[in-house]
Structure 1
Amino acid sequence: MSIQVTSVYTNTKEHNTKFRTGHGQSFLITNLQSGKKILFDIGTKGEDVLFNMNLLGIHPDEIDLIVFSHGHYDHTRGLESFLKVRKKEITIIGHPNIIEPKKVKFKKWFFNVKIDIGFPKLKSSLKKKIKFLFQTEFYAITDNIFLSGEIITRNEKDGTEDRLIHYNGKKWEKDPLVDDQSLIIETDKGLVIICGCCHAGLLNTLKHISQTFENKNIFAVIGGTHMLKFNENELEHISKVLVEKYKKPILYLNHCTGNFAFDYLQQKLGKETVKPFHTGYNLSF
């Protein structure tokens, strides 16, 4: 079965392309045999996502399903513009916490500032077009595309931060981002993992998935890995585990991976192993 993964929207692009970019993430997963199309995340600026979809020859009504990696704005805010153009209902799969209140806090001068970074607030007319299917456990979307489920065991460093907070129903606190999930595609070459931000941590995510798919090699990882604040020692550890435990999967990285992390991993693992995945790029498996 042939699956194509396309970057519809992310932070970067090649200079000679017309694609629009921004801080965010959106992938199109297409079954080239059946034609089934899944959007994994939907970016920040809906008009830019729709512009890129048009360049790719895709109309919102052709999308069969939306899956969200987590609830942050840079993966969900494009939904409003998408729903305005789409004429029919669509199912959205994700963790129930994708719609909980989320904010980022920081100091500006002498003030403590909190800014909403959560799921978009939609008008009732747009909400009627959505059917939510909330999942916390491993879930089969198709016969070869899966959602990881919650990645609770995090013995390795993850991508949570003190400044990223959520409302737990009683108070605001540091967000453990239990809603962070990744997609898994089972291919002839092995498992292909697609990460929105990988707030659960890359190594934690790989371990969780490898335990679910015993005796299956991980062929590639695509997407954001939230290693913006990882230091050299932490990246050295990651590169070592990738080689020794996972037989050096190909890394197609973008979004929140961070330039330092990308350059370090590429230097350690090689340009044939660590590659960028810009807006408009696609891979077939």
Structure 2
Amino acid sequence: MSDQLKTVDQLTITFLVDNCIEWFTKLPPGFTHELPQHLRFHHPEIDEVTNTPVLDFDKFCCGAHGFSALIQTTISDEPSASASHLVLFDTGPDTQSLIRNLSAMQIPVENINRVITSHWHSDHTGGLLSFLKLRNGDNESASTSPSAPPPVPPCACIVDVHPDQPIARGIAPGPTYDKVVCRLPPDPRFEQIEQAGGVVEKHSEGHTVANGSVYVSGEIPRVTPYEAGLPGAMRWKVGEDGKGSWVPETHIMDERYAAIDVAGKGLVLFSACSHAGIVNVVKDAVSKFARPVYMVIGGLHLAGADFSPRIGPTVKFLSEELKPAVCYVLPMHCSGFEAKVALQQAFGEGCVPAGVGLKVDVVGDREQDKRLLAAVY
């Protein structure tokens, strides 16, 4: 695999798991709420009395504390068989929300050939096994009609993971951060992933996937003084004597981001939780690709008293210090209300209230890209 990132002609994003559902706020061009997608494309039932489409809320998306985004990239001059790719970035926290929302958005799961896990926290990996089982027909929602022909097995789904999987991770709240009050649910083990039909690929270094159209980072350099990791993060480790204990793990070093370069626009960055700090993510992407950052997406982990002091310098960097500034910021998942307000004040309509079910279409422009090449840092 290479770390050479190709420029794409179109990027389509469908948010499949997020903490928020947002139906009514005005959106910029290229952004579509969930509700009109159901009305236009999902053939809702027509009410016999009023001859009007009926909204079936049982078939709409649900929110959950986690993140998952479906990424579709298209390169126009590639052969038709390899021009378009579907990649799932994270899988949410549980066995139900991603499965429900894939059904609600009528996603052809058999066409998703790669899952990228951003890091080993179960609010990002909890839906992985249920997704793989659904994709391979081993699911209660799959057809069980005796007259139906057996499903054609899809191509194997690659699960792109960091190799450093913890035994367990826990939370130790402040002010002392020394007593673990709970552990997170276990992440799927490598053998469980393979048993569910996935093909495990372990990557600690940056690389491209989806025929070079999506970059998956390696370890994110920590260079900003104010992005100091996750206070109270703990990891269970077993010593040479076979005894286990909780040890501090402020820096979640297995975290990775994803990047797509859209012609005429620049980089679209996915940072599912930003334990490394979103400024560190942006700085790493810019240093690697020398391209403007068009859009920043995902959890920014700026919620709560521990992270509030980071909001000001983070917003200032994205809106003022980075040249050119980011065009769109989509603060999701663990970003927090205070950070969203600050970003909205700085970016105006460039801060998009994204949520589950939202669809984003970013259309490239090769002619504009020639002019964009001069906008390097």
Relative to the length of structure 2, the TM-score reads 0.68
The reply on whether 1:174 has 2:248 as its aligned counterpart is yes
2:68 is equivalent to residue 26 of structure 1: yes
**1:80 counterpart residue number:** 129
- Whether contact under 8 Å (1:161, 1:174) holds in the other structure is no
TM-score, normalised on structure 1? 0.88
In structure 2, what is the equivalent of residue 245 of structure 1? 322
Q: 1:217 corresponds to which residue?
A: 292
Which sections of structure 1, spanning at least 5 residues, go unmatched? none
Name which of 263, 267, 284 aligns with 1:208. 284
| Partner amino acid, structure 2, of 1:280 | G
Tell me, yes or no, if the aligned pair for 1:71 and 1:118 is still in contact at 8 Å: no
C-alpha deviation, 1:198, in angstroms: 1.1
The residue number in structure 2 matching 1:256 is 334
- Identity between Structure 1 and Structure 2 (%): 25
Check whether the contact 1:184–1:191 (CA below 8 A) recurs between aligned residues: yes
SS class of match (1:69): coil
Number of aligned residue pairs: 280
**Cα pair distance change 1:147/1:124, threshold 3 Å:** closer
Q: Which moved more, 1:49-58 or 1:241-250?
A: 241-250
1:92-133 per-position Cα deviation (integer Å, ceiling 9, x unaligned): 1121124542222359xxx85332344135885863522221
State the partner residue of 1:195: 271
Decide whether aligned partners of structure 1 residues 167 and 62 sit closer, same or farther in structure 2, where only a CA change above 3 A counts. same
Task: Tell me, yes or no, if the aligned pair for 2:180 and 2:234 is still in contact at 8 Å.
Answer: no
- Aligned Cα RMSD in Å? 2.4
Q: SS at 1:29's partner residue?
A: strand
1:61 aligned to 2:110? yes
Alignment match, 1:101:
168
CA distance in 1, matches of 2:100, 2:203: 30
1:276 Cα deviation after fit:
1.5
Question: Measured at CA, do residues 168 and 186 of structure 1 come closer, stay the same or move farther in structure 2, by a change above 3 Å?
Answer: farther
Q: Give the structure, 1 or 2, with the largest relative contact order (CA under 8 Å, sep 6 or more).
A: 2
Give the secondary structure class of the aligned counterpart of 1:97.
coil
For residues 125-144 of structure 1, the aligned pairs below 5 Å read 127=195, 129-141=197-209, 142-144=211-213
Instruction: State the one-letter code of the partner of 2:119.
Output: H
Equivalence for 2:30:
none
The residue identity in structure 2 corresponding to 1:75 is: H
SS at match of 1:221: strand
Code of the aligned partner of 1:252: L
When residues 200 and 52 of structure 1 are mapped into structure 2, their CA distance, relative to the original with a 3 A threshold, is same
Q: Secondary structure at the match of 1:272?
A: helix
- 1:43 matched residue in structure 2: 92
Distance in 2 separating the partners of 1:194 and 1:125: 23
**Structure 1 counterpart of 2:359, which letter?**
N
Q: 3-state SS of the aligned residue for 1:223?
A: strand
Please tell me whether residue 10 in structure 1 is matched to residue 10 in structure 2.
no
Structure 1 letter corresponding to 2:217 = S
- Whole-Å separation in 2 of the counterparts to 1:118 and 1:154: 30
Amino acid at match of 2:206: F
Mean Cα deviation higher: 183-192 or 76-85? 76-85
Cα deviation for residue 166 of structure 1 reads: 1.5
Higher Rg of the two aligned structures: 2
Q: Say if 1:105 and 1:60 are closer, same or farther in 2 by CA, change over 3 A.
A: farther
- C-alpha distance in structure 1 between counterparts of 2:196 and 2:133, whole Å: 11
User: Which structure is higher in strand share?
Assistant: 1
How much does 1:19 deviate? 1.0
Q: Is the alpha carbon distance of 1:248 and 1:125 closer, same or farther for their aligned partners in structure 2, counting shifts above 3 Å?
A: closer
How far did 1:232 drift?
A: 5.9
2:221 is equivalent to residue 152 of structure 1: yes
DSSP-derived class of the 1:226 partner: coil
Matched, 1:271 2:271: no
